[in-house]
């Protein structure tokens, strides 16, 4: 095989491949034709060189209005509501939620922060009434009262002794 016959075979192969690809393309186009569809009659105005048929008018009787649930009202000026009523699901942002583990048990008497508030270290979030803390505080107050009465007793016992030394 010489060089010219090899180049001829390559060219023929390329031509056959191109022709086969073109036939497949045309077959696909024939089976699945491209269709331009428009949602409204005026959507294809760009293709009509500016020709426009204008808006179409339709008439609906009372029964038709009730069937398609169209409500008619006169145009008037009014203020918009700040509230939007809708339905949906609310999910907590798990990346911003933290568990709070108090060191004591008890009953929550007041809450000073609500969900979504920014809080910093040391901010009081809630008031918890704890039996353990109340018992410990009562014991502390009783001990302080006992110590104060002991101090007063010692001072009164010391007072006659200091007076006798002065004689």
At residue 149, the pLDDT reads: 93
The DSSP code for 126 is E
Residue 111, H or E segment: strand 107-111
Alpha-carbon dihedral sign for residues 158, 161, 165, 167: positive
pTM of the predicted model as reported, rounded to 2 decimal places: 0.29
Hey, where are the domains in the chain? 1-33, 129-167
**What distance in Å separates the CA atoms of residue 38 and residue 41, rounded to the nearest whole number?**
7
pLDDT digits (tens, 9 = 90+) for 53-89: 667 777 878 888 778 877 778 888 888 788 878 888 8
pLDDT digits (tens, 9 = 90+) for 104-134: 788 889 999 888 788 888 898 888 888 888 8
């Amino acid at each position: 095989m010489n060089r010219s016959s090899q180049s001829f075979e390559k060219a023929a192969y390329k031509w056959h491949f191109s022709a086969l690809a073109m036939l497949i393309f045309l077959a696909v186009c024939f089976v699945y034709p491209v269709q331009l569809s428009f949602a409204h009659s005026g959507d294809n105005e760009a293709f009509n060189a500016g020709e426009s048929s204008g808006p179409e008018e339709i008439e609906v009787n009372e029964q038709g209005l009730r069937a398609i649930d169209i409500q008619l009202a006169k145009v008037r000026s009014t203020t918009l509501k700040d509230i939007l009523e809708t339905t949906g699901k609310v999910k907590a942002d798990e990346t911003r939620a933290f568990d709070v583990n108090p060191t004591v048990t008890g009953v929550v008497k007041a809450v000073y922060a609500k969900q979504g508030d920014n809080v910093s270290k040391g901010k009081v979030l809630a008031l918890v009434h704890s039996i353990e803390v109340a018992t410990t505080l009562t014991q502390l107050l009783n001990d302080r009262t006992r110590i104060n009465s002991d101090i007063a007793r010692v001072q009164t016992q010391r007072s006659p002794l200091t007076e006798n030394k002065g004689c």
